[in-house]
Structure 1
Amino acid sequence: MTQDFEQLAQQLEQHPDYRVLRRLTPTPMFNTPVPGQRLSKGVVLDTETTGFDAQNDRVIELGMLVFEFDPISGMVYRVLDVFDELEDPGFPIPPATTAVHHITDEMVQGQRIDDARVASLMQGVEVVIAHNAAFDRPFVEARWPLFEQLNWACSIKDIDWREEGFGSAKLEYLLSTQGYFYEAHRAEADCWALLALLSHILPQSQRTALLALLETLNQAQQKVYAVGSPFETKDMLKARNYRWSAELRCWSRLVSGDQELQEELSWLKRKVYGERSARVEVESLGGKVRYSSRQGDKEVVTI
């Protein structure tokens, strides 16, 4: 019967008015390494939580896939371990969040994620990848501080999906462009979806999505703070992807590499400060700091 459905799907794919999406099936073996090939170990990670505030909300599900990859080609080889456990947050899960991930109080009652197993799986890991690491990393580090010592990358921010021709960076959408669908908003399922996506070749750069992401780890990344920028430049800053911090009362944006930093400082001097001398702040963000709630090293730069 399955074969009959696949034949129907293949027939539909031949017609220009139809697109076919297949259910993503977890595949532990993506490619076979040659004997003696040196591979690196990475982790794709996803959490489900009680809310959005890492200080007051809690992780209630942690999903991880430990996998091998070639850091030169960005090719994914095989999944070494699968982890998915629930944890009781110690208070009722808000109904609004249960409506998203369908995790109930009854499912997590008395459960606790195995800390020793988490620590064991992180041995030898070179990079932790999450789809929206700025959300997952603060939650994970609050629960397991060992993650502070690992390099993190974000499959939303560290790949220029728009430049590659995609209209959105949402995981479900990106995977659908590759012909697949999956049951989203559970940690392990999201991990399988992300790893499958990272293994695909990007249409414009013709490299794997994983390689595009890994290259950002080798670039110096800084956050530029437009300290004291005139109010009337706010729309210009926003259009250039600056983000407003109500706490700091300042606009900031991320740049990668020394050349991009110098270009950004030059743009600020011309467009924002009107060629006047100004003092801005530059925060250095390595892989062990970026996307966390911790600050990197800051310095004041006169432009």
Structure 2
Amino acid sequence: MIDKDRNESLPDKIVARINLNMIPQFIPRIEGEPLPNQFLALILDIETTGLNPKTDEIIEFAGLLVVVDGEKGTIEGYLDAYAGLQEPSRQIPKNISQINGLKKADLIGLKFDSERIRRLIDRADVVISHNVSFDKKFISKIHKVDNIKIIWLDTLIIDWHRICGAQNHRLDTLRSIFGIDNLIPHSALGDVLSLVLILRNVINDIPVSKHIFTERLFNMLRKRKFNYKL
């Protein structure tokens, strides 16, 4: 992450987007390693200069490494997190800046901590995002992902209409339904925290996270851990 001294020279809106100190307000921090029946899920989000992974670039990354209970399917807390910004090689299109609030001038000299990103991804048993097919293509540009080891989960596959009456699966819609209105919209860290808060909700006594952390998934993860120990 950007160091404290450099933060003082950055616009407040930029500092707010990467402020990891806000995370414990929404989800507890867990110390130590996960228990035998717990798994690690990396919930991530990115902002980019456009939609084409061949020509566009990631300008913002956020990832939250959470601990998931292998019996209840609930998110218990988080172990680690990273949020960063990076200057693109060319101007950010105006229509993109209108969405994510970022301009190239805001990002001059900023670079991702690639090692922090690598550690988060490599520690995860599963990677989760709200539109995996988009995020995965861009992430592979900054870190070679071991597709054999890591399972990618997409929260778009959840039947949001059935479980909460959502008319579409847009994150803004879900934020409104679940009453999440105090986070920075269209920022990577804000969207990650929004998704975590949504998944930690309970509807009709069932954690929302159970719709993606299924028993089949946990059986697969247990088998992987067992085979690895052999």
Contact 1:48–1:186, Cα closer than 8 Å, also in 2: yes
What residue identity is the alignment partner of 2:168? S
| CA–CA distance in structure 1, aligned partners of residues 69 and 105 of structure 2 | 42
Corresponding residue of 1:141: 140
Contact 1:75–1:211, Cα closer than 8 Å, also in 2: yes
Corresponding residue of 2:213: 214
Corresponding residue of 1:126: 125
Could you list the structure 1 runs, at least 4 aligned residues long, displaced by more than 4 angstroms after superposition: none
Corresponding residue of 1:176: 176
Instruction: Count residues with an aligned counterpart.
Output: 192
Corresponding residue of 1:153: 153
Please give the root-mean-square deviation of Cα atoms over the aligned residues, in Å: 2.7
| SS of residue matched to 1:183 | coil
Contact 1:71–1:211, Cα closer than 8 Å, also in 2: no
What residue identity is the alignment partner of 1:53? N
Corresponding residue of 1:64: 63
| TM-score normalised by L of structure 1 | 0.57
Contact 1:61–1:87, Cα closer than 8 Å, also in 2: yes
Contact 2:166–2:173, Cα closer than 8 Å, also in 1: no
Contact 2:81–2:120, Cα closer than 8 Å, also in 1: no
Deviation at 1:122, TM superposition (A): 2.4
Q: Which runs of 5+ in 1 are unaligned?
A: 1-23, 220-303
Corresponding residue of 1:88: 87
| SS of residue matched to 1:122 | helix
Deviation at 1:140, TM superposition (A): 0.8
Contact 1:141–1:148, Cα closer than 8 Å, also in 2: no
Corresponding residue of 1:188: 189
**Greater helix share, structure number:** 2
For residues 251-298 of structure 1, give each alpha carbon's deviation from its aligned partner in whole angstroms, at most 9, with x where no partner exists: xxxxxxxxxxxxxxxxxxxxxxxxxxxxxxxxxxxxxxxxxxxxxxxx
Contact 2:86–2:107, Cα closer than 8 Å, also in 1: yes
What residue identity is the alignment partner of 1:168? N
Q: Which runs of 5+ in 2 are unaligned?
A: 1-22, 219-230
For residues 99-124 of structure 1, give each alpha carbon's deviation from its aligned partner in whole angstroms, at most 9, with x where no partner exists: 11111112222222111111122233
Contact 2:155–2:212, Cα closer than 8 Å, also in 1: yes
| TM-score normalised by L of structure 2 | 0.74
For residues 74-99 of structure 1, give each alpha carbon's deviation from its aligned partner in whole angstroms, at most 9, with x where no partner exists: 11111222211111221111111111
Deviation at 1:68, TM superposition (A): 0.7
| CA–CA distance in structure 1, aligned partners of residues 108 and 30 of structure 2 | 39
| CA–CA distance in structure 1, aligned partners of residues 122 and 179 of structure 2 | 34
Deviation at 1:31, TM superposition (A): 9.6
| CA–CA distance in structure 1, aligned partners of residues 146 and 102 of structure 2 | 24
Query: Which deviates further from its counterpart, 73-82 or 51-60?
Result: 73-82
Contact 2:127–2:152, Cα closer than 8 Å, also in 1: yes
